[in-house]
Amino acid sequence: MGSISSSTTASDGLGPLFNTRSCNNCHINNGRGHAPEANINGISVPSFLIRLGKSYPNQNTPSNHVYPHIGDKTYGHQFQSQSTTGISPEGDYYLTYQTHTEVLSDGTKIELRKPQLHWRTLHYGNFEESTGFTMLASPALVGMGLLDSIPDKSILANADPNDSNNDGISGRVNWLDEEQTVIGRFGYKASVETVDQQNQSAFHTDLGLSTPLNPTASGDCTSRQRDCLNSPNGNSSHLDNLEVDEQQMRLVDLFVSLSSPPAMRNLKTTAFLEGKRVFDAAGCAGCHTPKMKTGNDSPLKALNNRTFYPFTDLLLHDMGPELASGFPSFSASPSEWRTASLWGLGLSEQISGRSGFLHDGRARNIEEAILWHGGEATSSQRHFKALTRENRQKLIFFLESL
């Protein structure tokens, strides 16, 4: 990110509690982050974070019930291991990994690892009994404006909440309200409506900066964190009594909205075309919708009437218990996730140095990511396991070219 508010010093209002000092520490070069290796301090990997939320009875049944985000009474909505001088950070954690091995039909063995969360220090006492934890590695930030500009009706056209076409895949919209008028698109569970809202909440929760939609300068401090609430802040009269004002928001929104996905590569090669055939035959496109089109009412003219290739339907799919989060998010149950876009997959490591796949970065490469697919994606996963080595390589070549 440029110099505008994306990289902060203590004097401009950062914190009091924060995860890291800039958007770029998590969305590395607009690319993705990764998960901490086993036993190292979580604080040393800023691109990974832990969300806190209420778990509910019956939350595992996908339904149209809307579960709002209610944070922990003491720690709030997100765990912050960093703080400004004089304020205690929330603590630190580490991960260990539970491993198991999947054997493909041709005998190839692939070890999968699942992160387990452990608290090392908790500086404000215990969590509430009902608090659940969701681990997230930062996603890449490309094509956000394009996804923002898809008309609602195009998203709804792909939804099949009751699987009435009987293909085992039932994409659901994450409705953010009971009346089913507001569609969520951003975040791993599609729990945020617009890029602007997502950016504003990132400033507030990740960096501890106030914005027009979140005007309190104390970020994610709770009423049980008095020192944090009462510490000096950077709300300034020349910024409409905020730390990040409307004008700065517009610039960040513009940057995030117009950062474009990489162009597809190797399009004309036989391996790409054959890989695409394997992708289709495995049913991947049932969720990873190749092509989308924007509408024509974006104030950013460059985003209007664009056909593009995100490989996502922006819908929620049940991915099975192994991938489940610690709490639901609006209409998304713990095991439901928004179909991940696949653009730029093959460039991930080049862009951010190292990277992980899936919401918590557990997958170290694309094969592992596919093998974790369960729930509605079980038959795709089985298809993948049964591929010949040659077809598997073509599929990966195709995916790495997107």
Binding-site ranges for ligand HEC (CB under 6 A) = 6, 19-20, 23, 25-27, 46-47, 49, 136, 138-139, 141, 144, 169, 186-189, 191, 195, 198-199, 202-203, 206-207, 252, 256, 282-284, 286-288, 317, 319, 323, 337, 339-340, 345, 357-359, 366, 369-370, 373, 376-377, 380, 384, 399
The residue (of 129 and 399) whose beta carbon lies closer to ligand HEC is 399
Q: Which CA distances in Å does 138 have to 45, 203, 241, 328?
A: 11, 14, 30, 19
Q: Which amino acid is it at 260? A: S
The residue (of 230 and 366) whose beta carbon lies closer to ligand HEC is 366
The residue (of 125 and 267) whose beta carbon lies closer to ligand HEC is 267
Under 8 Å CB-to-CB from 121, ≥6 apart: which residues? 91, 92
The residue (of 9 and 57) whose beta carbon lies closer to ligand HEC is 9
Q: Nearest Cα to 136, choosing from 396, 358, 392?
A: 358
Under 8 Å CB-to-CB from 132, ≥6 apart: which residues? 52, 53, 54, 55, 325, 326, 327, 334
Minimum separation from the CB atom of position 31 to ligand HEC (A): 11
Minimum separation from the CB atom of position 29 to ligand HEC (A): 13
Minimum separation from the CB atom of position 53 to ligand HEC (A): 10
Angle at CA of residue 61, ends 60 and 65, nearest 5°: 105
Tokens for 382? 């089985």
Check: CB of residue 138 under 8 Å from CB of residue 51: no
Tokens for 139? 């996603």
Check: CB of residue 336 under 8 Å from CB of residue 318: yes
The residue (of 182 and 366) whose beta carbon lies closer to ligand HEC is 366
Minimum separation from the CB atom of position 38 to ligand HEC (A): 20
Minimum separation from the CB atom of position 51 to ligand HEC (A): 7
The residue (of 87 and 220) whose beta carbon lies closer to ligand HEC is 220
SS3 label, residue 192:
strand
Minimum separation from the CB atom of position 190 to ligand HEC (A): 8
The residue (of 206 and 220) whose beta carbon lies closer to ligand HEC is 206
The residue (of 126 and 246) whose beta carbon lies closer to ligand HEC is 246
Minimum separation from the CB atom of position 309 to ligand HEC (A): 14
Helix (H) or strand (E) holding 99: strand 91-103
Check: CB of residue 55 under 8 Å from CB of residue 326: yes
Check: CB of residue 294 under 8 Å from CB of residue 149: yes
Tokens for 108? 């190839």
Minimum separation from the CB atom of position 254 to ligand HEC (A): 11
